Amino acid sequence: MKRFYLYIAIIPLFLLAGCESDDDDKAKIPDEVEQDEEYYTGGKMGTVFVSSSKAYKQAMPAIDQDAQLFQQFMRGERLADRSFVTNEGMGYSGLGPVYIRKSCVACHPSYGGRGQRVETFDTNDSKNSYLLMIYDPSNPATLPLASKYFTGMTQTRAVAPFKAPIDESGVKLTWHQYTDEYGNKYEDGTPYSAGTSYEGTLIYPTVEVAQDAILFKDFDMSKHAASIEATIGIYGTGLLDAISDEDLRAQYAEEQARGYCQGKIGADIDETGQNPYYPGPHPGRFTYLCTRATLDNGPGANALWNITNVTRPNRTSNYMTEEYARVMSEDTDVQTALGQTAEQIFNDLWSKSLKPEMTQEDYDAFMVWHRGLAVPAARNLDDETVQRGRTLFYETGCTACHRPSWTTRADYKPLPAISDQKIYPYTDLLRHDLEMKEPGRTKLGCRTTPLWGRGLMKVVSGHSDMLHDLRARNYEEAILWHGGEAKLAKDTFRKMTKEDRTALIRFLESI
């Protein structure tokens, strides 16, 4: 028995030693000179030294130094911050006819604060940042999710007289208890999350949607699955965008060659006509499933349209399915309320040349804001416990997926000032299968979540719910849900002394 334990203790170190090629310094523990750089999580031009509740809302130095960019940043922020309304001429108008939420902040509080774990799916609840996904369980792949009926992100709200595709009161979230193979205890016998009200427990969600809550009468929910996905941060996404495709592909090739923790790269997306700076195909790197490639055709650029259904010069159709347009046009309540025929209603809803509701100038300003949101600097890296935690983070193999640093491309055209920056996002931008219980769509592999800035979550949002569906209530649980490709890292964490576990978490809280 003793020998068995000895082997386990040796494996992680052995693996790490064995997997590093000589020219690869990424996972070697950097010396002190480099640690000074590590405070600049977002590089010199992308980091702000703010650790208050406004930490995720700041403009990068790259924006601050240019008066025109700063002006655009402030204008763009208003578009993200305010709720859109339906009435024309009211300022931020154009909401609907069918939509998901009224604003970005409804789901991205403080732009990276992240929503909170909730018991009920209510989009009026400011804590609820979940996107509802309905998909074919035999093919949970990216798009189209539930084919002809629902949009990729499921809409649960509509502007009268239109009706929502799903009545939210029929969406049921259930949180289940989970016990892992170690009885939710560390090797030293301590229960997980000791000292909290949820000591010794782990939980995960399932989602059911009642058949009668669905607008489409011929849609069979029993043949489909539903899951929830929670927000990631918006800050720093400009810097992730500035990493070159070549470097991302090289990371992928390296992981395939090393033979363990082999991430999957997002499929190529052809952005000709979508990205004015870099047309052509790019590998997906944003969202949990890496379904979005560049920022200019990314989750934020699209959300501004598809979350609210506000049209603009480069999005002149409604975000809806043809089936929705057809069902609404044939609905007699809608016909009566609008005083229009089915054909008129359908042609209007399904038009590909609607009047833009947002100006190009507003959209451009929005993108300056989006790209220019800074990453908060790391804190306390010189502290002795944090130092110990940092060493453990490297030694435990966390860096196999949470790649500490990248250098942005030499010539990032949309915001040249953030070119050639050494940044510390702690992600490889690739998808890994952690074999979680009820993973939802992430059973296809989930992108390694960037860890930068997360340590300030408690300060910014007052909670530390993490992972793609917020099942983890703190850092301990986030690590303890790592299985599959990351099982070895989790098991090593489980076997650490209490002091070392605390130190590792202190490090995570500092970055």
Site string for ligand HEC, 13-32 (x = CB under 6 A): --------------------
Separation between Cα atoms, residue 448 and residue 289, nearest integer Å: 10
Whole-number minimum distance, CB 454 to ligand HEC, in Å?
A: 5
* DSSP code at position 448: P
Instruction: List all residues 6 or more positions away from 281 whose beta carbon is below 8 Å from its beta carbon.
Output: 268, 269, 270, 271
Tokens 């009211």 correspond to what residue?
90
CB nearer to ligand HEC: give 215 or 486.
486
Whole-number minimum distance, CB 401 to ligand HEC, in Å?
A: 3
- Candidate ranges 65-73, 284-292, 351-359, 412-420; the one touching ligand HEC (CB under 6 A): 284-292
98 by DSSP, 3-state: which? strand
Whole-number minimum distance, CB 345 to ligand HEC, in Å?
A: 26
Characterize the bridge pairing of strands 98-99 and 157-158. antiparallel
- Candidate ranges 6-14, 209-217, 273-281, 466-474; the one touching ligand HEC (CB under 6 A): 466-474
CB nearer to ligand HEC: give 235 or 346.
235
**Is 365 an interacting residue with respect to ligand HEC (CB under 6 A)?**
no
Nearest to 362 by CA among 314, 307, 293, 309: 314
Separation between Cα atoms, residue 359 and residue 53, nearest integer Å: 31
**Is 107 an interacting residue with respect to ligand HEC (CB under 6 A)?**
yes
Instruction: List all residues 6 or more positions away from 360 whose beta carbon is below 8 Å from its beta carbon.
Output: 312, 313
Whole-number minimum distance, CB 340 to ligand HEC, in Å?
A: 30
Whole-number minimum distance, CB 439 to ligand HEC, in Å?
A: 7
Amino acid at 406: W
- Candidate ranges 50-58, 96-104, 144-152, 414-422; the one touching ligand HEC (CB under 6 A): 96-104
Tokens 């927000």 correspond to what residue?
231
Amino acid at 206: T
- Candidate ranges 52-60, 217-225, 242-250, 282-290; the one touching ligand HEC (CB under 6 A): 282-290
501 by DSSP, 3-state: which? helix
Separation between Cα atoms, residue 55 and residue 15, nearest integer Å: 37
CB nearer to ligand HEC: give 288 or 350.
288
Burial of 491 per CB tally in 10 Å (0-12, 13-18, 19+):
middle
* Other Cβ atoms closer than 10 A to 169: 12
Q: How far is CA 421 from CA 42, 64, 248, in A?
A: 8, 17, 15
Near ligand HEC in 390-449, by CB under 6 A: 396-398, 400-402, 432, 434, 442, 446, 448-449
Token duo for residue 407? 């250098």
- Candidate ranges 140-148, 317-325, 377-385, 476-484; the one touching ligand HEC (CB under 6 A): 476-484
Near ligand HEC in 223-262, by CB under 6 A: 229-232, 234, 237, 261
Amino acid at 57: K
Among 403, 409, 482, 506, binds ligand HEC (CB under 6 A): 482
Separation between Cα atoms, residue 280 and residue 270, nearest integer Å: 5
Among 95, 100, 328, 429, binds ligand HEC (CB under 6 A): 100
Near ligand HEC in 295-324, by CB under 6 A: 298-300, 303-304, 307
CB nearer to ligand HEC: give 28 or 347.
28
Token duo for residue 272? 């000709």
CB nearer to ligand HEC: give 164 or 345.
164
Nearest to 43 by CA among 239, 200, 270, 336: 239
Whole-number minimum distance, CB 390 to ligand HEC, in Å?
A: 11
Near ligand HEC in 125-154, by CB under 6 A: 129, 131
CB 235 within 8 A of CB 59: no
Q: How far is CA 305 from CA 98, 228, 232, in A?
A: 11, 21, 19
Among 57, 156, 493, 501, binds ligand HEC (CB under 6 A): 493
CB nearer to ligand HEC: give 111 or 324.
111
Number of chain positions touching ligand HEC (CB under 6 A): 54
In the complex, which residues of this chain contact ligand HEC (CB under 6 A)? 80, 100-101, 104, 106-108, 129, 131, 229-232, 234, 237, 261, 286-289, 298-300, 303-304, 307, 370, 396-398, 400-402, 432, 434, 442, 446, 448-449, 451, 454, 466-468, 475, 478-479, 482, 485-486, 489, 493, 504, 508
